Amino acid sequence: MPDLHQLIVVANRLPVRNVSDRDGQRWVSSPGGLVSALAPVMTSRPNASWVGWSGAAGRAPDPFVHDDISLYPVELSRADVQLHYEGFSNGTLWPLYHDAIAEPEYHRTWWDAYVKVNRRFADAVLEIAEPDATVWVHDYQLQLVPGMLREALPDLRIGFFLHTPWPARELFLRLPWREQIVRGLLGSSLIGFQTEVMAHNFRHVVPRLVDGSEITDDIVTVAGRPTVCKRHPIGIDVERFSAAATEPATSTAVEALRGKLHQPRTVLLGVDRLDYTKGIAQRLRAYGELLDEDRLSAEDTVLIQIAEPSRTNVNGYADIRSEVEQVVGEINGNYGTMIRPAVHYLHRSHDFDELIALYRLADVMLVTPFRDGMNLVAKEYVATRFDDTGVLVLSEFAGAVHELEQSVQVNPYDTDGLKEAIEHAVLMRPDEQSARMSAMRQTVAASTAHTWASSFLAELEAE
């Protein structure tokens, strides 16, 4: 067995959250794909650490151990959160990386805060890193950290994974601090992207910004030091989702939900964070037009839309919420009854068991973002369909479409095309559903969260 190097994961958030109950305050593991993906790998290491923000502005807690992982909180003030996270990360980079669906804002004060906070994360790593440690940095909030670490400790094994899309060259070049971001990322030995298109976009922006850089296949070389830039698509904890779907309690919950919905013939489901990238209003309008045209009937079809609160302080959140709620109101005003709405809209988070029941309830899953790095909801739905029933309608602009090729694929900007896709999904024959879903289940099972983390680290540490 090879020697296991010290492993340090660096992410915007720690893998825990602080909760208060009758016993006082305590730390509990956070839900989410990244935590479930990395936990098995980290607990297998004798010296694994996670550097991140606790989620509360102000003085950071002292380092502590949770589930055999050493946690090192990074301090962020309220101003840091506003300028670095809500500002540059989610007001500049998030819209830019999602094809400028909303107009990015470029403010020097935001950039200055981004540099300062990235430096603080890098310094936290340097305080605990051994010279030959493996450091895995995650996502768009921390793109300068690899370069800062490389400059301080050249022998570190540094990997970076971008969970969001990487935009087309012409879009990225709008960023005033484009060269600094690229050079920061090139401090990594391995950069992982969700799709080959995103990796290609990154590789081919480098020569425009870094003199003397060379590209050979998936390797970018600058000043003699190579950086591998390639596709490493993230997976889910397939066993957890598939096992929960077969629990008797899940079947009971599904039967109860269908009864409360008055036994519709077809249940359509959307599960999204409330974000302008998700295409929720367009999806709702397409459904409303299908009802208008009598291509679907509100008597035997119902749409459930989960819109989980997210980034409530970021510009545009209130606008998208207002738009979605207006469309829901119009559809229910036209086609709902006192006891039977045409759309059930829930603006709140759901726990794991509730989501599993909803996935099992749904005859058609609607995953139609305008842009997404991957979209794990699509994979989660597929993992719960142990009987090979159900249809997945999937945006062409979600990273998951490159793996889930048997989905009903749609351009979410095309309302007529979206209506046709939904109608096709509702009317699909059982034998076609089974063939499509079986193939997608095999794909999801072959590339799990654990295999993603293990393969990334194996490649990073093989250098």
pLDDT tens track for 60-89: 999 999 888 999 999 999 999 999 999 999
Residue-wise burial string across 219-253, b where 16 or more C-beta atoms lie within 10 A, e elsewhere: ebebeeeebbbbbbbbbbbbebbbebbeeeebeeb
> Which of the following CATH numbers is that of domain 7-234+449-461: 3.40.50.10440, 3.40.50.2000, 1.10.3720.10, 3.40.50.720?
3.40.50.2000
The residue ranges of every structural domain in the chain are 7-234+449-461, 238-446
Whole-number pLDDT of residue 26: 85
pLDDT computed for residue 432 by the predictor: 98
Q: What is the pLDDT of residues 298-330, one digit of tens each?
A: 999 999 999 999 876 766 788 899 999 999 999
With 0-12 / 13-18 / 19 or more C-beta atoms within 10 angstroms meaning exposed / middle / buried, residue 46 is exposed
Backbone dihedral angles phi then psi of residue 431, each to the nearest 5 degrees: -70, -35
Residue 341 region by backbone torsions, left for phi larger than 0, else alpha for psi between -120 and 50, else beta: beta
User: Does the global pTM surpass 0.85?
Assistant: yes
Side-chain-facing half-sphere of 264: CA atoms under 13 Å: 28
**CATH no., domain 238-446:** 3.40.50.2000
pLDDT of residue 2: 46
Distance CA 250, CA 361 (A): 10
Helix or strand holding residue 393 (H, E): strand 391-395
pLDDT tens-digit profile, the chain (463 residues) = 345 679 999 999 999 988 877 777 888 888 777 887 888 888 888 789 999 999 999 999 999 998 889 999 999 999 999 999 999 999 999 999 999 999 999 999 999 999 999 999 999 999 999 989 999 999 999 999 999 999 999 999 999 999 999 999 999 999 999 999 999 999 999 999 999 999 999 999 999 999 999 999 999 999 999 999 999 999 999 999 999 999 999 999 999 999 999 999 999 999 999 999 999 999 999 999 999 999 999 999 999 999 999 876 766 788 899 999 999 999 999 999 988 999 999 999 899 999 999 999 999 999 999 999 999 999 999 999 999 999 999 999 999 999 999 999 999 999 999 999 999 999 999 999 999 999 999 999 999 999 999 999 999 999 6
Neighbouring residues of 92: CB distance < 8 A, sequence distance ≥ 6: 104, 105, 106, 107, 110, 111, 175
Question: Cα torsion for 419, 99, 317, 273, to the nearest 10°?
Answer: 60
Per-residue pLDDT at 54:
93
> Do the domains 7-234+449-461 and 238-446 sit in the same CATH topology, yes or no?
yes
The predicted-structure confidence for 19-45, as pLDDT tens digits, reads as follows: 877 777 888 888 777 887 888 888 888
Q: Which uninterrupted H or E stretch holds 229?
A: strand 225-231
Q: Which pLDDT score is estimated for 18?
A: 84
C-alpha span between 163 and 161 (Å, rounded): 6
d(CA 217, CA 21): 54
